[in-house]
Amino acid sequence: MTALICAERFLSLQSASAILPLTEEGGPDTARIEAALRQATGVIVAHLPWLLDEQGDIGRPVNPQFADALEAVCADIALDRLTDTVTGSENARNKYKESLALLEKINREYQGGLEGPGYQESEVVIAGADGIADGRFFKKGKVF
C-alpha cells in the first residue's frame, strides 16, 4: 500500500525540535520514515476502510473534506512510530490518542453523511399511520 503522504511532506510538517531518525551522514533516515508512513497509513485504513479503492490502495484524490486532516493524522501516527518511549513525550502520546479519536470522528461523520460507500439515502416518510403526515427524515441504511 502506498503511504498517504511522502517523506518530504512528512518532514515539512514536523517542527525543528522533532527528534527524527538520522542516517550515518546526519540527514533524515527516509527509509525508516517511509516505513513509518506506510504503517500509519495502515492504521488510518483500519479505521477508515472506505478510503480503499478496488485495487486495495487509497483512492485518489482523497475526499477534500478530510484530506488535510488525514495528512496531519498520518504524520502524527508516523512520528509516534518513529519515537520510542524514552525520547517520546507525553504530548506526543496525547497527540497520537487525539489522532485516533479524530479518525473515529471522521468515520462517524462520513458513514452518517450521504456519500458513504454502500449506503443509500432513505426515503422521506410521507404518510404515517392512519394517513397522518409524518415529516421525519431518516438517515441512510446499508444496501444489502
48 alpha carbon, distance to own chain's centre: 6
What would the pLDDT profile of 67-84 be if each residue is shown by its tens digit?
888 999 999 889 888 876
pTM of the model: 0.67
Concatenating the DSSP letter of every residue in 38-75 gives HHHHHHHHHH-GGGB-TTSSB-SSPPTTTHHHHHHHHH
DSSP label at residue 130:
G
Cα Rg, the chain, nearest whole Å: 20
Distances (CA, A) of 86 to 4, 40, 83, 129: 27, 20, 8, 65
pLDDT of residue 61: 79
pLDDT at 144 over 50: no
The answer to whether 57 and 1 are in contact (CB under 8 A) is: yes
What would the pLDDT profile of 90-142 be if each residue is shown by its tens digit?
777 788 888 888 888 888 777 655 444 444 444 544 555 566 555 555 555 54
Residue 10 CB neighbour total at 10 angstroms: 25
Distances (CA, A) of 126 to 53, 59, 134: 37, 38, 6
pLDDT of residue 39: 92
